[in-house]
Chain A
Amino acid sequence: MTDMSVKNNILHELCTGQPLAVLATAAGCAPYASLVAVAMTANLRQLYFATPRATRKWANLAGNRQVSLLIDNRSNEVTDFSRAAAATILGTAEELAGTGREEGLELYLARHPHLAEFTASPSCALFRVQVASIYLVTRFHNVMEFHFSS
């Protein structure tokens, strides 16, 4: 197995296996980070997350749809430096409505069934991030870029 295919596998495991990600939004020039539950499509092109509309991140997204998310598999042990992988995702977020929301919600709840009540709330927004690129970091220093055409 080549180094490239190994990294492909790591990326898929990371993006489809980890339940949580750190979401970075921006309020003007000020970055803002939040922990969110995520679900990603198998082709890694779209990522879904849900958030109440009263939150700071929702307000930020209303003003700037550009987002970055960090998904990693660290265990908070020293071996993370050599064994953990992290993916930085760059993309554009869009709040879903109508059939788009229904389809997205089906995928999202398949990953997080315990969030059914939360997402059913009228105040909860579901976002879809169209992924433009992913930077995968392994073994502390190795960085690979995955670019997606829109």
Chain B
Amino acid sequence: MKQPSGLIIPLADLTANDLSRAGGKGVALGRLARAGLPVPPGICITTDVYKQYLDSTGLRQRLPLLLERKPFSEMRWEELWDLGLRVRALFLNTPLPLGLAADLTVVMTPLFDELPVTVRSSAPAEDSASASFAGLHDSFVNVHGLPAILDHLRLVWASLWSDRALLYRQELGLDPETSAMAVVVQELVVGDCSGVAFSRCPGREELAVIETVWGLNQGLVDGDVEPDRLLLEPASGKVIERHSPPRMHACRATDGGVHLAPLPPMERETTPLSDMAAVRVLDLLHQAEDLFGAPQDLEWTLRDDTLFALQSRPITTSETPKEGGERVWYLSLHRSIASLKGLRQTIEEELLPRMAGDADRLAAVNLVALDDAALAVAIVERQQVLDCWETSYREVCIPMAHGIRLFGQVYNDRLRPDDPFAFLDLLTGDAGLLAVQRNRELLELAGLLRDDSNLAARLRNGVKPDPGSAFASALAGFTARFGDLAWVMGGATGGLEGVTTLLLEMAAAQHTAPTSRHRPDEGIFLNAFAPFEQEFARELLEIGRASYRLRDNDNLFIGRLTERLQEARDEAARRLTVQNNHDLAGLPAPVRERVTKRLTPAAATARNQRSSGARLQARQLVGQPAGPGLGQGTARVISNPYDLASFKTGEILVCDAVDPNMTFVVPLAGGIVERRGGMLIHGAIIAREYGIPCVTGVPEATQLIRTGDWLTIDGFLGLVIISAAHLQGGSHG
């Protein structure tokens, strides 16, 4: 095989010395192949190719601008999503230089032009003996033809900077200046059954374990297909235990990819791997152990009675993605479309109705009639109910949000837009978005005030509306549907006055409706798919929209439960104030502390710092561009709920994190600045609905910006420019 200056190396020629240019997976496959184990034939595209690509396309310069825009320590998971998506789009939209593509084509055409292949990541730091980071980078199965292989090559490269990999950036030693990715291209072996084998069963180290599924391994790896599980005695190969779940699906090769297909009845009833075949897999595992001198995690497939080793890596017990904590939770957020469909059903048919039921049940309790002890019990119960649902939110609702990104990724793969977030236009404008429905009804209430200047004047003077009036009954209807906004604005103390103030402000405002943007033609998206892919494309669009809608809506349901807890606390606070008794009987100390704390509004924090006698002031802050547009206005920093009631038309909403429960002020806002970052957070979602500029992920936004500062929001570049209040006016034109 002619190899252009070491850009491509046949797998069987790789040695341990090639680790830095062939990566761990490539070197391991090379050693398996040279030892005579059955490995599908293939080549390794070395890290030199990645480096050449970066140098000749200018990505070497552009990558750090993306990756180092903000310290990683200040990024939340939403921001890692965004970053991974932006990097992926950058690679996707930057073709291989013609010369480099020609060099690769010369070598690969005779090998793979007619064959389906796998295109797999092989990062130098991915699989070492001390740590295994399997699954952080992408691999693609069943890729046909040279153009598609070269396309997927760039996607694998991009995954060096995937959000999952960035999570482990320190362990992987990721640095845009020095890191590189090799790629393994192998003939695809379409196995009848496939699986993984581990030298040691977790928790039962004396046994080996084999997991097996019908068809390709992808379903097992993605978690969409539950495998048969065999525990074996390593020496004899005797099957000690066999666990067989209901077998429903298999991952099959389809045109240019893989898909989940229902199993025919016979395969549902039959184990994919007989005891005799299991011994053969175990023997292959032993050969790999002997070769590498360590317990192994082996991927295999069986086709027409021929067994193939697809990958082997050491089993590690140290710092790996198996550890507990936030990173494992984050990794669990990546869901397949099958998993997302299940989540959607759970959320829409179980979670939200039950949340609403709990909220209604608690709302029916007359708290005023409870004695102190019963009130204390009610507070504890409501806290428990809320905690329980917040756990479900974290476990079910947040993973559902991955549907937005999955849709975005497929959209970008097919349409390759310049803006990696152009897909959001297909998701916005959803009539089912509760926050927009709520705001529309608020505008209608404000309209009643606009049409009745006498009523507006009376309310402005503190007179309560006549209980029988059209306005009062409309307000009661609104509260029944969406909850009482008073609790969001500070509960008992903010009270009805806060809502009235907001409505009066809305009545005076001119432009407070969502932008009547024309939703882009979904046909542009659907037309990018072949006829046989149409069902998948429609399902994905549907999941993307549901995911986008639920991401906001489920918070409003949580909000209704928070309201119920808050009203109980407020009742306790009222009694403590009236009775001047800070020892409400039966109230547990932590709850009592929270109640009494609420009685004393938090003192404003000093936002100007002094250093060595110098006054420090932010002039320009960097965040993420989350809502395009330029906006100017006076800052309204939301430090506590009471601040919401003071919001004035045209002000820039500055807050730590926009809660969907507080987005009723957004129709009044001239822009949004948020400390929490991301394109898919609530502030960004609602800003897009109203077409107002939005910058998220601004560190210490509420500390560095003061209410009254004159702000310019650049929602294109993600900049916030701050001027002192006295400077506003002509100099900012």
Contacts and interface: CB of A to CB of B under 8 A. Distances in A.
A50 B108 CA distance: 65
Nearest to A138: B622
Given A82-B68, A82-B69, A142-B621, A148 B614 contact: yes
Nearest to B614: A146
A118 interface: no
Interface stretch (B2-10, B57-65, B418-426): B57-65
A41 to B, nearest CB: 10
Contact of B616 (A139, A146, A149): A146
A141 interface: yes
B677 to A, nearest CB: 13
Contacts of B60: 78
A144 B616 contact: yes
Given A143-B618, A143-B619, A44 B700 contact: no
A81 B61 CA distance: 9
Contacts of A3: 74, 699-700, 704
Given A141-B719, A145-B618, A147-B614, A4 B609 contact: yes
Given A3-B700, A139-B69, A145 B616 contact: yes
Given A4-B609, A146-B611, A82 B620 contact: no
A148 to B, nearest CB: 5
B177 interface: yes
A135 B700 contact: no
Contacts of B612: 43-44
B609 A142 contact: no
Interface in A106-123: none
A79 interface: yes
B68 A79 contact: yes
A76 to B, nearest CB: 13
A34 interface: no
A139 B703 CA distance: 19
A65 B611 CA distance: 26
A43 B610 CA distance: 12
Contacts of A32: none
Given A143-B619, A144-B617, A81 B611 contact: no
Contact of B611 (A8, A82, A142): A8
Contact of A145 (B64, B65, B617, B719): B617
B699 A43 contact: no
Contacts of A74: none
B615 interface: yes
Contacts of A83: 64, 68
A147 B608 CA distance: 11
Nearest to B618: A144
Interface string A124-150: 000000000001000111111111110
A2 interface: yes
Interface string A1-24: 011100110000000000000000
A141 B622 CA distance: 6
B531 interface: no
Interface of B is mostly: mixed
B619 A81 contact: no
A82 B65 contact: yes
B61 A78 contact: yes
A81 B64 CA distance: 8
Given A143-B619, A144-B619, A82 B64 contact: yes
Interface residues of A, number: 25
B614 A142 contact: no
Contacts of B609: 4
Nearest to A137: B620
Most buried by A among B614, B618, B621, B699: B614
Nearest to A7: B616
B177 A79 contact: yes
B619 A79 contact: no
Interface string A64-105: 000000000000001101110000000000000000000000
Interface in B610-635: 611-622
B616 A4 contact: yes
Contacts of B611: 8, 146
A44 B615 CA distance: 12
Given A147-B614, A148-B614, A149-B613, A142 B64 contact: no
Contact of B622 (A44, A81, A139): A139
Nearest to B623: A141
A140 B614 CA distance: 23
A138 B489 CA distance: 37
Contacts of A81: 64-65
Most buried by A among B67, B177, B612, B620: B612
Contacts of B717: 141
B717 to A, nearest CB: 8
Nearest to B61: A78
Contacts of B176: 79
Contacts of A2: 700, 703
A8 B616 contact: yes
Contacts of B619: 135, 143-145
Nearest to B622: A141
A34 to B, nearest CB: 26
A145 B622 CA distance: 14
Nearest to A8: B611
Contacts of B61: 78
Nearest to B717: A141
A149 to B, nearest CB: 7
Nearest to A83: B68
Most buried by B among A7, A43, A45, A142: A142
B144 interface: no
A9 to B, nearest CB: 10
Given A2-B700, A3-B700, A78-B60, A139 B615 contact: no
Given A8-B611, A44-B614, A79 B700 contact: no
B548 to A, nearest CB: 29
A85 to B, nearest CB: 13
B70 interface: yes
Contacts of A7: 616
A148 B613 contact: yes
A8 B611 CA distance: 8
Interface string B32-74: 0000000000000000000000000000110011011110001
A148 B177 CA distance: 38
Interface in B63-108: 64-65, 67-70, 74
Contact of A140 (B65, B699, B703, B704): B65
Interface of B: 60-61, 64-65, 67-70, 74, 176-177, 609, 611-622, 699-700, 703-704, 717, 719
Interface of A: 2-4, 7-8, 43-45, 78-79, 81-83, 135, 139-149
Given A78-B61, A146-B617, A147-B615, 5 more contacts: A81-B64, A140-B69, A147-B614, A147-B616, A148-B614
8 contacts: A3-B700, A4-B609, A7-B616, A79-B177, A82-B68, A147-B617, A148-B614, A148-B615
Closest 3 CB pairs of A and B: A82-B68, A143-B620, A143-B619
